[in-house]
């Protein structure tokens, strides 16, 4: 692995309502690229860190809407957005995320 290239796990969330998601592992991701470039690469419009390696983890299936973790800011590079090797990221459409936050569905 080249310096600055990491493995990132991305949960592509198709539906918050139906818990429909697909985890995908990406190898060789350059941390010097912009958040926007990575978003175009994975085809959804927002990113949120789910879990970072060697840190505490929630027991939510995909994405904890209650956490204070902000969405990954656009306009920065992945490294500055605290993305590192083996970080788990949720990727989704912002409109679906906002609808789910406003009207959470309990199961």
Q: Is residue 75 part of a domain?
A: yes
Q: Is residue 107 part of a domain?
A: no
The residue that leads in pLDDT, 97 or 55, is 97
Predicted local confidence at residue 64, as pLDDT: 60
Q: Is residue 94 part of a domain?
A: yes
Q: What is the mean pLDDT of residues 80-95?
A: 90
Res. 7: pLDDT tops 70: yes
pLDDT in tens, 16-73: 888 899 999 999 999 999 999 999 999 899 898 888 876 665 555 456 666 556 678 8
DSSP 30-90: ETTSBHHHHHHHHT-SEEEEEE-TTS-----SS--TTS-PPBPPTTSBTTTTT--TTEEEE
Res. 94: pLDDT tops 90: no
Q: Is residue 25 part of a domain?
A: yes
Residue 9 pLDDT class (50, 70, 90 cuts): very high
Which residue range(s) make up the domain with 21? 5-102
Residue 97 pLDDT class (50, 70, 90 cuts): confident
Q: Is residue 47 part of a domain?
A: yes
Count of domains observed in the chain: 1
The residue that leads in pLDDT, 25 or 15, is 25
10 Å Cβ neighbour count for 1? 9
Domain of 35, CATH number, reads 3.10.20.90
Q: How far apart are CA 31 and CA 35, in angstroms?
A: 9
């Amino acid at each position: 692995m080249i310096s600055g290239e990491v493995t990132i796990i991305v949960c592509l969330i198709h539906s918050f309502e139906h818990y429909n998601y697909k985890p995908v592992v990406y190898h060789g991701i350059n941390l010097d690229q912009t958040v926007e470039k990575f978003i175009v690469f994975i085809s959804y419009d927002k990113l949120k860190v789910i879990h970072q390696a060697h840190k505490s983890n929630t027991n939510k299936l995909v994405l904890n809407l209650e956490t204070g973790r902000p969405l990954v800011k656009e306009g920065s590079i992945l490294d500055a957005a605290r993305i590192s090797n083996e970080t788990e990221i949720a990727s989704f459409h912002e409109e679906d995320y906002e609808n789910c936050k406003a009207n959470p569905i309990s199961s």
